[in-house]
């Protein structure tokens, strides 16, 4: 299975900076492909929705995919400010992040809502990147496994298939803090996620599970070499061309 490095730009970027960053990534990838200096993982850029078209235009024809950060669970309707997965597909997206902890916290998104959004993404022919992860308090209380089990049972649609689903393990306490779990802790949770998916949907071995939370060029090789890690969901470091490139090139295929 091919590795996957996704850049979640969150609410950052302007038309000008998005164009420069996306072009920079696309050029480095094309340069690498042209020189045949080794394969690269799949790379996905997830800018804020108004920047999708400029980023899509900048990476068109290159080996870079477009992703969105969220969507509404319905196909259309009276939902001011929301965007449907169907429209995101039409705008060139291949992936949609759902259930990011910032959406769960800032917008009160529940497992049930995340599951409906993931279904909408799938119905639109796109691949959901479904985020799960415990808070610091939950880790301290020793209930990480229970939290992950609850989120997996509630947030992953019943009809999900491994080939068209991505799970991102993002411990909330590691996001934007510079702190990361140990490799053993990451491996533990990834193995739990794979077993849960396998039990509920089958083909767990084919599921791509990303790690997210303070992944940088400096720790990417270590994190990405961990057993059961198939790529990374990167926040802050995905806004820096050199750092993001270090992460991309650190990903085992």
51: number of Cβ within 10 Å: 22
CB of residue 33 to ligand 13P, shortest distance in Å = 26
Catalytic residue among 42, 102, 109, 170: 170
Is 107 one of the annotated active-site residues of the chain? no
CB of residue 143 to ligand 13P, shortest distance in Å = 21
- The smaller minimum CB distance to ligand 13P, of residues 33 and 226, is found at 226
- The smaller minimum CB distance to ligand 13P, of residues 176 and 252, is found at 176
How many whole angstroms separate alpha carbon 167 and alpha carbon 210? 6
- Of all residues in this chain, which one has the CB nearest to ligand 13P in the complex? 235
Which spans of this chain sit near ligand 13P (rule: CB under 6 A)? 8, 100, 170, 175-176, 212-215, 233-237
How many whole angstroms separate alpha carbon 6 and alpha carbon 42? 8
DSSP letters, 190-211, are: HHHHHHHHHHHHS-GGG-EEEE
- The smaller minimum CB distance to ligand 13P, of residues 33 and 49, is found at 49
Cα angle 210, 85, 53 (rounded to 5 degrees) comes to 85
Query: What phi, psi does 41 have (nearest 5°)?
Result: -70, 170
CB of residue 239 to ligand 13P, shortest distance in Å = 9
Is 138 one of the annotated active-site residues of the chain? no
Which amino acids are annotated catalytic? 100, 170
């Amino acid at each position: 299975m091919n590795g996957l490095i996704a850049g979640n730009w969150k609410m950052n970027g302007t038309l000008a900076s998005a164009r420069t960053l996306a072009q920079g990534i696309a050029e480095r990838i094309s340069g690498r492909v042209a020189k045949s200096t080794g394969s690269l993982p799949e790379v996905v850029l997830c800018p804020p929705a108004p920047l999708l078209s400029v980023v899509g235009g900048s990476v068109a024809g290159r080996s870079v995919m477009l992703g969105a950060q969220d969507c509404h669970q319905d196909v259309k309707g009276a939902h001011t400010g929301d965007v449907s997965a169907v429209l995101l597909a039409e705008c060139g997206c291949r992936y949609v992040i759902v259930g990011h902890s910032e959406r769960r916290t800032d917008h009160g998104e529940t497992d049930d809502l995340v599951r409906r959004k993931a279904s909408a993404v799938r119905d639109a022919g796109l691949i959901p990147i479904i985020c799960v992860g415990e808070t610091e308090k939950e880790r301290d209380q020793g209930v990480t496994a229970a939290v992950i089990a609850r989120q997996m049972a509630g947030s992953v649609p019943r009809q999900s298939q491994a080939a068209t689903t991505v799970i991102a393990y993002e411990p909330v306490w590691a996001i934007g803090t510079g702190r990361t779990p140990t490799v053993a802790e990451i491996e533990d949770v990834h193995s739990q996620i794979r077993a849960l998916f396998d039990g509920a949907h089958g083909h767990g071995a084919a599921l791509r599970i990303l790690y997210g939370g303070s992944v940088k060029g400096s720790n990417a090789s270590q994190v990405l070499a961990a057993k059961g890690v198939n790529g990374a969901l990167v926040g802050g470091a995905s806004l820096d061309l050199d750092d993001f490139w270090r992460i991309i090139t650190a990903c085992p295929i």
